[in-house]
Every structure is written in C-alpha cells, then in structure tokens.
C-alpha cells in the first residue's frame, strides 16, 4: 500500500513571520489527517526554523535542492550532509525550474539524487515535459530520458525509497492543470517504465502529480490509480488551501 503524500514546495517565498503563521495553521488544521503524509519545503535559510516549529509533529520537511558535491570550492551550494545535520527527511531534485533556469542536466540531477540518498535523505525526483514537447508528441520520450538518467546512475533499487513527482512544465504556476486522464497516463507510463527493471519498485514507489493542484481539482487527480498525492506550489502558501488538498489525499 502506497501512503498518500502531499508536499508543499514554497519555492522562493516566505519570511520568518509568514512561515510561523503558515506552519501554526497547518499544524492546527492537520490534526485530523491521519492517512496522508505531509511535508513542506522551505528555502534553505528557513529549514532550522521549520524544524523547530514542526518538532514533535508528524509533518516532515526537506529542501528544494541539494548540491551534487560533498564539500569544497562550490560557492553558494548546500550539501546533503548539511541537510542531514538539520534532519531533512526529503530533498527535491530536478525541479523543472532548476532544470530550465539554472541549466541542470539529467546527469547533474542524477548526482544530486545519489548524494541525497547516500546521506539517508529521500530524493523527490521531478520529471516532466515542456509544452512544445507535449505538443510534438514527445512527452513519454522526455520523461523516460529524465527517469533513465537516474536509474542508470543510481540503480533501480534506489528508486523505491525515493518519490517521483510528475510535473508537466506547462501546468506549473499557470492555472492550467493536466486533466486527471492526462496525468494518469503519464503516471502509468512511469510505472511501466520502472517495471521493465523491477516490478516491485514500480508497484511500491510513490508518484506525485504537480502543476496547479488546487482544492477544487485535487480529489479527482488523487483518485487516479497511479497518482499517490501531489507536489503543491502556489496553493501550499495558503494554509486553508493546502489543508484542503491534504484532506483530499487523506
């Protein structure tokens, strides 16, 4: 049984005050959520504050990125060992904004995945196609390439303890959600791709959908066979919306 999972990616948003208010409201409102796992992803600088606010709760937290390097002359980077020291459970790797704006390659993403996992931090591997890739019929090809880069570098068994997030780039922050059918199709494709290497991994790994998930579309998306929850951007900054999405997964 795959436990439903809702993860809030705050991206480059937040302040000490905003995070305090947001997490207090989420902690209060999540008491009735017993079946779904919840996690939040703040900017690096606030991870310590998030850890303190969430202490003793069942809400997990993690980072939005991680360096592919261990230590050394890599200005501006944060290592997996540092994240481990702050007890991050998860690290998002390969978010489409990292790939598109910061030029992260499939190989770099695979190294980040390996680094996180090596330290016992569960990677949330993001994959997804651009609008032109979907329109030219290349969705599966792109998703397979992104996935295969990690499988060949980390090994198929490494995928089981990780989480995969399918985020069609055209649906991120646009208000244009993939239809539940469009999302389900790609989720099923991902499982099928994984099952070529290992059936158990394909069955057990959680695959989240991300891209304009809101309270009004979450239930139908999460009802799809191969969708195990969501990676939420904009709506995760609003406690009521985020909690409604968590309830949908619950």
Nearest to 108 by CA among 150, 143, 145: 150
Binding to ligand 13P in span 139-178, by CB under 6 A: 167, 172-173
- How many H helices and E strands in the chain? 12, 8
d(CA 12, CA 169): 17
The Cα–Cα gap between 98 and 165 comes to 14
Q: Looking at 4, 168, 210, 229, which residue binds ligand 13P (CB under 6 A)?
A: 210
Half-sphere CA count of 138, side-chain side, radius 13 A: 9
Min separation Cβ 63 and ligand 13P, Å: 13
**Closer residue to ligand 13P, CB minimum distance, 156 or 171:** 171
Q: Which two tokens stand for residue 37?
A: 């796992």
Give least dist CB 133 to ligand 13P, A: 17
The closest alpha carbon to 59, from 80, 79, 38, belongs to: 38
Stretch that binds ligand 13P, among 103-111, 129-137, 140-148, 232-240 (CB under 6 A): 232-240
SS3 134: helix
Kindly tell me which of 126 and 156 has the beta carbon lying closer to ligand 13P.
Answer: 126
Query: x-or-dash pattern for ligand 13P, window 66-95, by CB under 6 A?
Result: -----------------------------x
Lay out the site mask for ligand 13P across 90-129 (x = CB under 6 A, - = otherwise).
-----x----------------------------------
């Amino acid at each position: 049984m795959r436990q439903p999972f809702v993860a809030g990616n705050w991206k480059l948003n937040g302040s000490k005050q905003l995070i305090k208010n947001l997490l207090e409201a989420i902690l209060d409102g999540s008491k009735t959520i017993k079946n779904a796992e919840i996690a939040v992803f703040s900017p690096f600088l606030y991870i310590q504050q998030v850890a303190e606010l969430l202490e003793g709760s069942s809400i997990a937290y993690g980072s939005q990125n991680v360096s592919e390097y261990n230590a050394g002359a890599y200005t501006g980077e944060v290592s997996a060992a540092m994240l481990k020291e702050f007890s991050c459970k998860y690290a998002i790797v390969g978010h489409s904004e990292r790939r598109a704006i910061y030029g992260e390659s499939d190989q770099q993403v695979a190294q980040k995945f390996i680094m996180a996992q090596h330290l016992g931090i569960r990677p949330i591997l993001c994959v997804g196609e651009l609008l032109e890739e979907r329109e030219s019929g290349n969705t599966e090809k792109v998703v397979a390439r992104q996935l295969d880069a990690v499988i060949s570098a980390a090994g198929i068994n490494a995928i089981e303890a990780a989480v995969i997030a399918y985020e069609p780039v055209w649906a991120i922050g646009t208000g244009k959600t993939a239809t539940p059918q469009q999302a389900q199709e790609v989720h099923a494709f991902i499982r099928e791709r994984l099952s070529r290497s290992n059936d158990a991994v394909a069955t057990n790994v959680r695959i989240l959908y991300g891209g304009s998930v809101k309270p009004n579309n979450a239930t139908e998306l999460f009802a799809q066979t191969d969708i195990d929850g969501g990676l939420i951007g904009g709506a995760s900054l609003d406690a009521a919306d985020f909690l409604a999405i968590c309830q949908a997964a619950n």
